[in-house]
Amino acid sequence: MKTYVWDRAVRLFHWSLVAAFAANAIFTNPEARLHRWVGYAVAGLIGLRLIWGVLGSRHARFADFPPSFSGSLGQLAEMTTGRRHAHAGHSPLGALMIYNLLFTLAAIATTGYMMTTLSWFGVDWVKQAHETLVTWAEISVVMHVTAVVVESRRLRVNLPKSMITGYKDLPADVSGAGKA
């Protein structure tokens, strides 16, 4: 069943964040002004996403995907036993990854900003925290992309396509599924 899941704001946020993170992680010089401005853009995107997580459409709201360790364990059990359960919005493991990435990227932006201030400039632990957080974000991105590929194949739902079009092709028995 073709189901509208990801609104335009969520998709624009997602791909803008992908581009900004990739730019700062791969292309910009960490000492350059552009690196700082891209970091400010990331902070702004996160701020907008937090607002949209309260006021946005159904699957954009944080209430639609609360962090759930028991739900995540249940999803892992499904994966190991071969059962398939597609979710209209974020899966429990997907939700944990979203919270992880939002928190990590906010912390990167915070420590990056701290390094530009008189109070924190040259403070070693701030630089170390920033670099460690960037490494964790890169690991998280690899895990996220891998999980999207694995879950797309396992569930037979093209998750990357849904983040482009906004629509997921879901089995008719999925809770929250409705016609487009």
Model confidence over 110-146: pLDDT tens digits?
999 999 999 999 999 999 999 999 999 999 999 999 9
Q: What does pTM read for this prediction?
A: 0.90
Q: How far apart are the first and last CA of the chain?
A: 8
- Give the other-Cβ count within 10 Å of 133's Cβ: 20
- CATH number among 3.30.710.10, 1.20.950.20, 1.20.1260.10, 3.40.50.720, domain 2-169: 1.20.950.20
SS3 171: coil
Model confidence over 26-85: pLDDT tens digits?
999 999 999 999 999 999 999 999 999 999 999 999 999 999 999 999 999 999 998 988
